[in-house]
Amino acid sequence: MRTLWNKYRYLIFRRATQLSLLLLYFGANAWGWTILMGNLSSSLFLETIPLSDPYAALQMVAAGAVLATDIMVGALIITMFYLLIGGRAFCSWACPVNLVTDAAAILRRKLGIDGISKRQPASRNTRYWVLVLSLIISLMMGVTAFEFISPISMLHRGIVFGLGFGWAAMLIIFLFDLFVLKNGWCGYVCPLGGFYSLVGKVSLIRVHHTMENCTSCMKCKTVCPEQQVLHMIAKESIDVLSGECTNCARCIEVCDDDALSFSIRKLVKNKKSGE
């Protein structure tokens, strides 16, 4: 039987990372800290290294803006980082909205609102259509369309700068995920998650499934926010190759059989594309 630490170690690390980022941003605004200044769209690390959201930069380009050098460098740094560790690791390790959607998912399971096999009344491709639409609107209107209405930015500003609209947006997302659609915002709607899914298709750090250890208990699918990426469970030993995996590691933690673990992607052996 796995120890309590083994069952929650990655969750603890994720929460520590998310809260530490918020604390650093808040500290920069409230107390003048210089470790990480700015926001999730554009930051400065140690007063030297620029960090920029590549999706926001893409919207700026679509809107007709000429990007400053620091924004381009920052976007390149972030893109290369998530190309290495997995694009949607941003969603589970950095995005503050994950705190809200995870809470809704836990409460949904506790209340027994739906089961693991229940078909969702929506397509996960919706987020990609929202992504394309945001770029089209940015092109037509000359503004960064998603940034104006992004709940991620609203919540981040609400925590760091004390603005109030973010809390209303989080309540809407929480209720939407709880009563309307399981993992609805992150799994079906958020275009930023869709963008990082595309980035994550070629990332190196993957969850690996060892079929010989698997007993088909399906605990991993119960906690996974993107259950479709675990299509290989009890069928074959292979890496989770889908870019939609968030690398949250909850599946690893709950597996009592040690059938799941992190691995470095083997580009020669793993030629299949996972969906």
**pLDDT for 193-211, tens place per residue?**
999 999 988 888 999 999 9
User: Please, which residues bridge with residue 155 across strands?
Assistant: none
Beta strand 205-209 with 260-264: parallel, antiparallel or unpaired? antiparallel
Cβ proximity of 245 and 229 under 8 Å: yes
- The DSSP symbol for 212 reads G
Query: In the Cβ-directed half-sphere of 264, how many Cα atoms lie within 13 Å?
Result: 1
**What is d(CA 71, CA 85) in angstroms, rounded to the nearest whole number?**
21
185-to-127, 131, 151 alpha-carbon distances in Å:
9, 13, 10
**What is d(CA 225, CA 214) in angstroms, rounded to the nearest whole number?**
20
| CATH fold for domain 199-264 | Alpha-Beta Plaits (3.30.70)
pLDDT of residue 271: 46
**What is d(CA 201, CA 229) in angstroms, rounded to the nearest whole number?**
12
Report the run of H or E that residue 45 belongs to, with start and end: strand 42-45
In the chain, which stretches have pLDDT less than 50? 116-117, 267-268, 270-275
Beta strand 205-209 with 238-239: parallel, antiparallel or unpaired? antiparallel
- What are the sequence ranges of the domains in the chain? 4-198, 199-264
Nearest in space to 116 (alpha carbons), one of 226, 222, 217? 222
pLDDT of residue 118: 57
Which three-class secondary structure state does DSSP give residue 49?
strand
pLDDT of residue 213: 92
Q: Give the chain's end-to-end CA distance (angstroms, integer).
A: 31
| Burial zone of 176 (CB within 10 Å; 0-12 exposed, 13-18 middle, 19+ buried) | middle
**Angle at the Cα of 66 (from 64 to 43), degrees rounded to 5?**
110
Which three-class secondary structure state does DSSP give residue 223?
helix
Q: What is the pTM of this model?
A: 0.87
